[in-house]
């Protein structure tokens, strides 16, 4: 795995209990998908990492290009074909005190790979979800290590035998516990606008490109829980889930429990981008 700028064996890693990531969740992270040994939308993920870092006033001590190369080498070193890279940067190691440590404290970067098959059955058949009140903080645009709200939401979904929790603030649907949410009604795609209430998903950006390519109009406007239940099609997106149809929300079956035609077209357009990457 990668620790700062060194590739080392997992067994040789030691991390401090005084790491601010461990003590406060004081750090940021990214997950980058790897198809056939190639990282998908790595530049966009790295850009978002630096944006998250800026927002929490953390300075990553490498250029974006150097970090990109380090991640490339990690994937090569681990001979990863299908899976993802996880990376996080914390504000470093210092005696526990809420305020930032001195400027001499170096951030701690770790990254490792995880092999995983693509969730093809979910893509094919769709998944069930539940509504969960969004109790997270007001900077959900930062990909922070503080994931307690997301963890509690996902656990609720898990206990309800569902794949994902669709979070809502009051009546307004925001996003999943680890995904973005979309609804399609009368040939128009709706999704929450990018502001402080949601993470601007990298897959979301790809989805919007796919919509443009297939000629599906997009309205970046929030919808309500009630509207979600009346959509013709609903789906979610994330780096690891890609484009996953939603066929049930609470007790309401969407589109007779079958992934819809537009969702299928978006999946196909997405697939073409994956194929292009692996042909390079």
The set of catalytic residues is 143
Q: Which part of the chain contacts ligand PMP (CB under 6 A), choosing from 56-64, 94-102, 224-232, 237-245?
A: 237-245
Residue 145 or 231 with smaller CB distance to ligand PMP: 145
Min separation Cβ 201 and ligand PMP, Å = 3
Min separation Cβ 48 and ligand PMP, Å = 7
Q: Which part of the chain contacts ligand PMP (CB under 6 A), choosing from 110-118, 195-203, 227-235, 249-257?
A: 195-203
8 Å CB contact between 133 and 166:
no
Residue 4 or 225 with smaller CB distance to ligand PMP: 225
Kindly tell me which residue out of 80, 94, 130, 202 binds ligand PMP, with binding defined by CB under 6 A: 202
* Burial profile 198-212: b = 16 or more Cβ within 10 angstroms, e = fewer: bbbbbbbbbbbebbe
Taking CB under 6 A as the rule, does residue 238 contact ligand PMP?
yes
Site for ligand PMP in 142-181 (CB under 6 A): 150, 175, 178-180
Min separation Cβ 204 and ligand PMP, Å = 6
| Residues engaged in binding ligand PMP (CB under 6 A) | 31, 150, 175, 178-180, 199, 201-204, 237-239
């Amino acid at each position: 795995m990668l620790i700062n700028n060194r590739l080392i064996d997992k067994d040789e890693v030691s991390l401090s209990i005084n790491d601010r990531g461990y003590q406060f969740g004081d750090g940021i992270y990214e997950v980058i998908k790897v198809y056939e040994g190639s990282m998908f939308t790595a530049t966009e993920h790295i850009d978002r990492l630096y944006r998250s870092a800026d927002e929490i006033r953390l300075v990553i001590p490498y250029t974006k290009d150097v970090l990109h190369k380090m991640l490339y080498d990690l994937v090569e070193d681990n001979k990863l074909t299908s899976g993802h890279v996880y990376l996080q940067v914390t504000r470093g190691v210092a005696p526990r005190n809420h305020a930032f440590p001195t400027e001499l404290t170096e951030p701690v970067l770790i990254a490792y790979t995880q092999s995983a098959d693509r969730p093809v059955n979910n893509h094919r058949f769709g998944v069930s979800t539940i509504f969960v009140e969004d109790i997270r903080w007001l900077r959900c645009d930062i990909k922070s290590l503080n994931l307690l709200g997301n963890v509690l939401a996902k656990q609720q979904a898990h206990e309800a035998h569902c794949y994902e929790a669709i979070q809502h603030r009051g009546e307004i649907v925001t996003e999943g516990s680890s995904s973005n949410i979309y609804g399609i009604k009368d040939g128009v795609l709706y999704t929450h606008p990018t502001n402080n209430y949601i993470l601007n998903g990298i897959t979301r950006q790809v989805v919007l490109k796919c919509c443009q390519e297939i000629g599906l109009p997009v309205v970046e406007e929030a919808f309500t829980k009630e509207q979600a239940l009346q959509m013709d099609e609903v789906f979610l997106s994330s780096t690891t889930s890609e484009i996953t149809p939603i066929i049930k929300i609470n007790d309401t079956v969407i589109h007779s429990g079958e992934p819809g035609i537009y969702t299928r077209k978006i999946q196909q357009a997405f697939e073409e981008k994956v194929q292009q990457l692996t042909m390079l």
